[in-house]
Structure 1
Amino acid sequence: MRKIIYWMSMSLDGFIEGPDRNIDWHTVDEELHSYFNEQLAGMGGMLDGRVTHQLMADFWPTADQDPANEGPMADFAVIWRNMPKYVYSRTLEHADWNTTIVREVVPEEVRALKEQPGGDLALGGADLAASFAAHDLIDQYRVYVHPVLIGRGKPMFPAEETLRPLRLTGTRTFGTGVVELCYDRADR
């Protein structure tokens, strides 16, 4: 069965974006971007909310046509275009680029998606991840901690009163100082 992997970059103080959705503090170099591409290329789909999807759809469909985006950026454009995408939105009426619009996080539907053949599913976005977590649907947390304190912004993990024991399954340090932390649910 496929896993749902919450895949997110955050500052050392726990934010995924600064004020006004600012992410210019991310330290993604060629090494890290190539690693992301390698990992994401084997995924079976991306699960995103409307805002994340629209931000991606505004840039990635044609990013590889710009000579300034050669190498890993151009490679990711191809991965993104070809990857099945599931966008959770109550308001989005139309989406291109191999995208299915889903209106609600329905646990039975998510479990049915997990049972389909293919690679694991990459979950992005704090709000959508909070909905998945509330339904106990996240199998793995893959966190990329960037070596920066930004002081304020959107937290990666919203406040909740549920205890979720996790088991460390891997770490990796990149040249920029970014650290990957992989945690699986301790009960699986």
Structure 2
Amino acid sequence: MRRLTFGMNVSLDGYTAAPGDDLGWGVPSDELFQWWSDRVGATGTALYGRRLWEAMSSHWPTADQQPGATPAEIEYARRWRDMPKVVFSSTTRTVDGNTRLVTGDAVAEITRLKAEDGGPMDIGGATLAAAAMRDGLIDEYAIVTHPVLVGGGTPFFTALDDWVELDLLETRTFPDGVVLTRYETRR
């Protein structure tokens, strides 16, 4: 069974995006950017909700060709393009690159993908992750907490019917007061 991780940048008050989908508070240090790049390099398949897909696909397919692209950005862009991706959306009509579109039942497709052989999967986008979280499909949470209070927006965690007990796997600090905590779902 494939492992599914939900990892995103999060404000200290628990939001992945501030009101208006503002992500300006989550600019990574070089060290944190490399950590995210290494995650992408180790991911067998990335699962994206529509909004995160639109944000990522508007920049990363050609980011390595932009004037002034750093070596780290060039590496991330290459890794991102090479990584197989699945986009879940009922409104998106086409995707390109190394990407497949799913317009039907996201939970059923994620369950099917988890049962396949293959490398680890990452899920991104709070709405898509919330559906997987409610159905108990997430094996690991990688929470990259930034020292900022944004006061509202898109929450990292969704409301749940039952508790989910977790075991701490790792903590790590990054520059600028950013803290990574990784937890595994206790089964």
Q: TM-score, normalised by structure 1?
A: 0.93
Contact 2:19-2:152 within 8 A present in 1 as well: yes
Which residue of structure 1 lines up, in the alignment, with residue 170 of structure 2? 170
Q: For 2:134 and 2:14, locate their aligned partners in 1 and report how far apart those are by CA, in whole Å.
A: 19
Aligned length: 186
8 Å contact from structure 2 (residues 107, 131) kept in 1: no
Shift of 1:73: 1.5
Q: Distance in 2 between matches of 1:68 and 1:176?
A: 24
| Separation of aligned partners in 2, 1:140 and 1:172 | 16
In the other structure, the counterpart of 1:71 is 71
Any conservation in 2 of the 1:27–1:178 contact (CA below 8 Å)?
no
Aligned to 1:94: 94
Gaps of 5+ in 2: none
Unaligned runs of 5+ in 1: none
Secondary structure of the 2:181 match is strand
Are the structure 2 counterparts of residues 158 and 112 from structure 1 closer, same or farther at C-alpha, using a change threshold of 3 Å? Answer: closer
* Correspondence for 2:21: 21
Identity, % of aligned positions? 38
Give the residue type in structure 1 aligned to 2:17.
Answer: E
Distance 1:51 1:151 in 2: 21
Task: Report Cα offsets for 1:14-55 as digits up to 9, x if no partner.
Answer: 111111110100130111111111122011011011111111
CA distance in structure 1 between the partners assigned to 2:9 and 2:101 by the alignment: 24
* Contact 1:9–1:146 under 8 Å retained in 2: yes
Read off the aligned partner of 1:21 and give its amino acid letter. D
Counterpart of 1:37 in structure 2 is 37
**Aligned residue number for residue 81 of structure 2:** 81
Correspondence for 1:105: 106
1:69 is displaced (CA, Å) by 2.1
**Other structure's SS at 1:59 match:** coil
Task: Provide TM-score, normalisation by structure 2.
Answer: 0.94
Amino acid at match of 1:154: T
Q: In the alignment, is the contact (CA less than 8 A) between 1:43 and 1:118 conserved in 2?
A: no
Aligned: 1:137 with 2:137: yes
Query: C-alpha displacement at 1:80, in angstroms?
Result: 1.0
8 Å Cα contact 1:27/1:176 also seen in 2: no
Question: RMSD over aligned Cα, in angstroms?
Answer: 1.3
